[in-house]
Structure 1
Amino acid sequence: MTQPPAIFDSALIARHLGRRTEASDFVTDLVLADLEERLGALIREFPKAAIIGPDREKLPVSGRTSSAGFAFERHVAFAGDSDIPALHGDDYNLIVSILHLQAVNDVPGYLARLRAKLAPDGLLMIAALGGETLTELREAFLAADAEIFGGASARVAPMIQVRDAGALLQRAGLALPVADVETHVVRYASPFALMAELKALGASNPLMDRSKRFATPALLAAAATSYAERDGDPDGRIRATLEVIWLSGWVPHESQQQPLKPGSAKTRLGDALGITKP
């Protein structure tokens, strides 16, 4: 089976994460708070559950639905040669992946392999950075590269688009697929403050085909100027978009809702709407 071309350098991502400082990771905090709320809306018990994310120490050891509490197995993303950590067995009732999918080279394969680890009627939940994340920084560097070097270089990673998410879940063999997006606008004192935070979080350029040219002071200055001109506020601060895509789907099971067969309706739509035949 042909492997898709590598877009992300997994070994480089692991090195970047290994050099993280103790800086506050508000993105992970935001996603985990949202996860807690989403799980709390479910009427379900999860006897065997796993959660995957870049920072094991930040992953919760337990979760709670409206029915019961449960324990999480915690697994580290970007820790080995495989996109998926070594999950134990194929009978998980819940698998959660946070902030991992956006830097996976084989997205359909990733989803299919996680689905294979789920028991019938098991739930897969994923939170990933969406395609609008850091769009301002991407545009600023494109303009700066064109100005300084006369051409564009890939310095900000491409990310999944929400319009593709539902089809990916169905392709992986998951039923009742749901994809939704939450968009946040974060403000920084300057473009350099944003870049410093990305470096502190281990989120520097992860692309395999990244530019071999170093980000020179002239390039960074040009990017900062472009950023401020395009996305600066009157008080001197700049805006940065954070888009989080949430995906969920269930392993098919006979107990789940099933669509009616075409032609099986017992009532005309016109009758339901009070429309009489001419």
Structure 2
Amino acid sequence: MPELFDPDLRQLRRDRAVRGGPVTFLHERAVEDLIDRLDMMMFDKHRALVVGLLSPELAKPFAERFDRLDIVDPSPVAAAASGGSCAGEPTLDVEPATYDAVIALGTLDTAEPLPETLLRLRLALKPDRPLVGVMPGGQSLARLANAMIEADRVSGVTSPHVHPRVDPPALTQLLASAGYAMPVVDIDRVSVRYGDLASLVADLRGMGTTNILRERSRRPIGKAAYKAAKFAFLSDADTDGRVTERFELLHFAGWNPASPV
């Protein structure tokens, strides 16, 4: 199956985000939820693996709960900033049954192939230990998607701009197919107010989540197309000139069974 995403560009996007000062308000919200989940789970918290970490600050709540924390990130800059190692999720070289928990912080939606990645993470877990994580959902950035459709209409060039996302039922099935017991997926919808398209794009760059699709257009967006996108983004703005964009976060969890699958 052809790859959807460009892994080299993915790394560069995350490198740039860290160097420029990462935008982590969604990550911080996700970490709060993950900590609540972990605190309710009964298991020995000796060693955990965190996959994807844009800022060392995000690791602190996990480090307070585990005796040892290992960090990996597809970006060498992000990995170095957190004292971790650089690795792509599908190629993680981890001894089986090493970790008491695996924590995936928002990168699995662009990890290919995802089914094999989920299986690799499960095998890294000790028996009866959890994977917990978060990834963007399919209802994210609808206003941006509509704005880019308008840009394509004006430019006459059709190009994919917004990443395809897995929906909650599909993610639940992927977890089950990878051998996780008791898979669960919850949805957290976050509304953010923006006064212009540029502010949203700046946030996405700071998160390292701008377009990394292989089939994206390499041509810069023209002035007329960008003007159309800006206008479409602010259509039906409120009286304060702002609009609401929505980010959908899929929180997921599953357990490596106590007995072999």
TM-score (normalizing by structure 2)? 0.86
Given that residues 56 and 75 in structure 1 are in contact (C-alpha distance below 8 angstroms), is that contact kept between their aligned partners in structure 2?
no
Tell which structure's C-alpha radius of gyration is larger. 1
Q: Which has the higher contact order (CA 8 A, sep 6+)?
A: 2
SS of the residue corresponding to residue 128 of structure 2 reads strand
Following TM superposition, the consecutive aligned residue runs of length 4 or more in structure 1 with deviations greater than 6 angstroms are: none
User: Greater CA deviation, 80-89 or 70-79?
Assistant: 80-89
Structure 1 vs Structure 2: percent identity of aligned residues?
26
Query: Where does 1:150-169 land on structure 2 (aligned, <5 Å)?
Result: 151-169=157-175
- Residue 120 of structure 2 is matched in structure 1 by 113
Residue 58 of structure 1 and its aligned partner are, at CA, apart by 3.9
Match of 1:73 among 55, 70, 74: 70
Residues 79-102 of structure 1, C-alpha deviations (whole Å, 9 max, x = no match): 446634433543312111111111
Residues 174-231 of structure 1, C-alpha deviations (whole Å, 9 max, x = no match): 111111110011011211211122223332211111112211222111111111115x
User: Greater CA deviation, 241-250 or 46-55?
Assistant: 46-55
SS of the residue corresponding to residue 118 of structure 1 reads coil
Provide the rounded CA distance (Å) in 2 between the counterparts of 1:100 and 1:154: 20
User: Greater CA deviation, 20-29 or 166-175?
Assistant: 20-29
Provide the rounded CA distance (Å) in 1 between the counterparts of 2:162 and 2:169: 20
SS of the residue corresponding to residue 96 of structure 1 reads strand
Does residue 250 of the first structure (1) align with residue 255 of the second (2)? yes
- Residue 33 of structure 1 is matched in structure 2 by 32
SS of the residue corresponding to residue 119 of structure 1 reads coil
- Residue 267 of structure 1 is matched in structure 2 by none
Given that residues 89 and 108 in structure 2 are in contact (C-alpha distance below 8 angstroms), is that contact kept between their aligned partners in structure 1?
no
Given that residues 51 and 59 in structure 1 are in contact (C-alpha distance below 8 angstroms), is that contact kept between their aligned partners in structure 2?
no
Residue 70 of structure 1 and its aligned partner are, at CA, apart by 3.7
Given that residues 50 and 70 in structure 2 are in contact (C-alpha distance below 8 angstroms), is that contact kept between their aligned partners in structure 1?
yes
Residue 76 of structure 1 and its aligned partner are, at CA, apart by 1.4
Residue 59 of structure 1 and its aligned partner are, at CA, apart by 3.9
Gapped runs of 5+ residues in structure 1? 255-278
Provide the rounded CA distance (Å) in 2 between the counterparts of 1:82 and 1:181: 23
Query: Where does 1:66-105 land on structure 2 (aligned, <5 Å)?
Result: 69-78=66-75, 79-80=86-87, 83-105=90-112
Match of 1:5 among 2, 5, 30: 2
One-letter amino acid of the structure 1 residue matched with residue 32 of structure 2: A
Residues 145-180 of structure 1, C-alpha deviations (whole Å, 9 max, x = no match): 01221x531112112211211111110011111111
- Residue 263 of structure 1 is matched in structure 2 by none
The 1:33/1:142 distance shift into structure 2, 3 A limit, reads same
- Residue 82 of structure 2 is matched in structure 1 by none
Match of 1:138 among 121, 128, 145: 145
Provide the rounded CA distance (Å) in 2 between the counterparts of 1:201 and 1:253: 36
